[in-house]
Structure 1
């Protein structure tokens, strides 16, 4: 019987250090780590990451490419270069998946060949290039009872209808987009390669709540994974940046327990 590995994302420990995330993951009983490539040099250094993995017994099983707004200057301005270096890093540390965001709307040249470019790179590596679901950006209209939506990603923030071989499902992003993550997972079926386990109340903010604290069907999604032919990993990605040490540890402990309680063994 196989249970998908449960990873702790380094973003769940922000603003604490990368090493503190490895230490937390080991102490709390996670199976490995997802590393967000960030401004900290060790997140881009395979030698340092391999050393941390060995020191704490926590393998790096996922790499999150620096495709966020806050990481636009990491590894320069060449968008495809960021993807290629992320794959190289994943191969060097033994990670199984690279999480990628779709292009921003202003990255028109990059976006115009994004689906095809991901497919070409996927054909050249065993690492899964897994495109993450995003959401429309929302702003309050002059009429306070309404919100305006702006589609900030190309070719689209929803990967379901696009031809990606592998997709990462983030439950907080599904919440802010007004989507049902269980329904999305069913539509993706065998293309679902990786899960960001978190939660959302459906507000306009990307909340990344501890699973079970919002309205997304977190429990049902985990329980459905065997029937979808899921062979990937589940990474806890919750926001703890405003929490003190005790509350952060409680949130990470609760998130792991939630995953263990509801993630069934696969035959």
Structure 2
């Protein structure tokens, strides 16, 4: 079966999770990924459940609050945040929690991360799909390693992983080669794009240099059956119509190159 095409609530920021569900329903997305963040609705399981039921859209994944600006969402203890993410996922019917590797300064968390993720998957029954990140760099090509045990999930024995094309662009990493290394451990996709600059651009797929269409064709060839979620940056959109146009273009791109007909 063709993968579902979901919309990340992060794609409509600074609008709310409620707006994300509305856009997804109106445009014909198959599901929604909830980024737990500073939007209060995203932190409330009951609110997420009500939004999903109201719009008739399943929640495909919960993105744990592990970004720099969400470090205090659901407290500051990282394992507790992941447990709460799994609890939300189970209650809203999602099978996946997307999680970033720890920052290097989170030494104790990083030390036990690989085994801790495996233990959480075993105890919760939820897949923790560890996302590829990138070296931090300025204008030069030299980067600082800011994640531990590392930014490339293919180098660790995670059972479930996520590939994000914008992150791959910053790291100058070939996403198809990463997907090949991961094999069946690739569970989740953040469909976006990047130019290869030092910024995490999250461009509309097809507007960058990551060969997003070729990457989707590869997924079809290998029979990928996980989730494909559009996660783009629309913060610079000057109007609702412009944001909606970017979200529609991204969905149509995904449908075309995954061979998924419009519902």
Displacement of 1:46 after TM fit? 1.6
**Contact kept? 2:2, 2:225, Cα under 8 Å:** no
Contact 1:222 1:264 (C-alpha < 8 Å) held by counterparts:
no
- Structure 2 residue corresponding to 1:254, chosen from 245, 249, 252: 249
Q: Secondary structure at the match of 1:118?
A: helix
Deviations 1:24-46 (A, max 9, x none): 00000000100000122221222
Match of 2:111 in 1: 112
Conserved 8 A contact 1:185-1:221? no
1:31-110 paired onto structure 2 within 5 Å = 31-110=30-109
TM-score (norm 1): 0.94
Among 196, 211, 218, the alignment partner of 2:205 is: 211
Does 2:217 align with 1:223?
A: yes
Alignment TM-score, normalising by the size of structure 2: 0.95
* Cα pair 1:190 1:228 within 8 Å, conserved: no
Q: Give yes or no for contact 1:181–1:221 (8 Å, CA) kept in 2.
A: yes
Partner residue in 2 for 1:234: 228
Which blocks of at least 5 consecutive residues in structure 2 are unaligned?
Answer: none
> How far apart are residue 54 of structure 1 and its match?
1.0
Q: Retained in 2: the 8 A contact 1:182–1:217?
A: no
1:143 equivalent in structure 2: none
Conserved? CA contact 1:189–1:229, under 8 Å? no
Q: Quote how far apart the aligned CAs of 1:85 are.
A: 0.5
Query: How many residue pairs align between the two structures?
Result: 259
2:155 is the counterpart of 1:161: yes
Q: CA offsets per residue over residues 138-180 of structure 1, 9 Å max, x none?
A: 024xxxxx44411010000111110100000000000000011
**Residue number in structure 2 paired with 1:245:** 240
